[in-house]
Structure 1
């Protein structure tokens, strides 16, 4: 007996869902597909709508609610969570560490089974050693790759850049 898990799983999820919500979601997807809208612009508009709805909900007084009521944004909350972007210098330092890892890995001896082990496990140990050495070399001043990249790409002006 052959079982195709993917269609069965999808059908089970569709059958378990609310039919009204299913039709509404299908209609939204069909509208997006037929309009040839720019996906990024559509997502930005939806995020704006969700943020406006959340602001409207928070603006309404919660004094009417009973003391044991819990307000939940699980269903209608913002669909996108912004993650704080790392400092630009940190990104360049990690890139420099990766480059140094590659350099170190090529410099390690090829025939070193007695040190790292045989086969795949030996390759993994060698790679881990190269990664740690690259990170340690880049922690200080490194070899200047991070400094040059940071100088060539200054951070954008403004209080906060977009993360994504």
Structure 2
């Protein structure tokens, strides 16, 4: 026996709902649709947040600014990671996706679109983490480590040269010391 989850759930909820609450919700939806359409036409496209009663325009613009700072390649990588996670979470059902290879392709396409949509809308933080601590951070750490190693090598070389000169001073007679210091 196959069920159709979206329609069955919606019908069950409608049957269990209070008629007065249903009418009030429908009125709010109609008012929200009008407000949403007006805002969409005005070009702000924040109708969904206004309809739900959320006034987060500053948060939305901060989120969009933050999203632009992350390179697109990191977003695509996050989409691929999310795709594999989502695909493993989706049910293995022939009734939903179809049989055989075609069903696997449909399941993969669904996972791909869901992963890309989540990554595009801000994701779970993988892209931001890579942008913050990605290859440039690793290269910077390597570069600073190499610089420190070079400085230590320079100090060691100077110490060796100084010790060699002191040993040479101890071996040379007084005349030769003066000539050697004049050359250096």
TM-score range, shorter chain: 0.3 to 0.5
Higher relative contact order (CA 8 A, sep 6+): 1
Structure label with greater radius of gyration: 2
Larger helix share, 1 or 2:
2
**TM-score normalised per structure 2:** 0.35
**TM-score normalised per structure 1:** 0.39
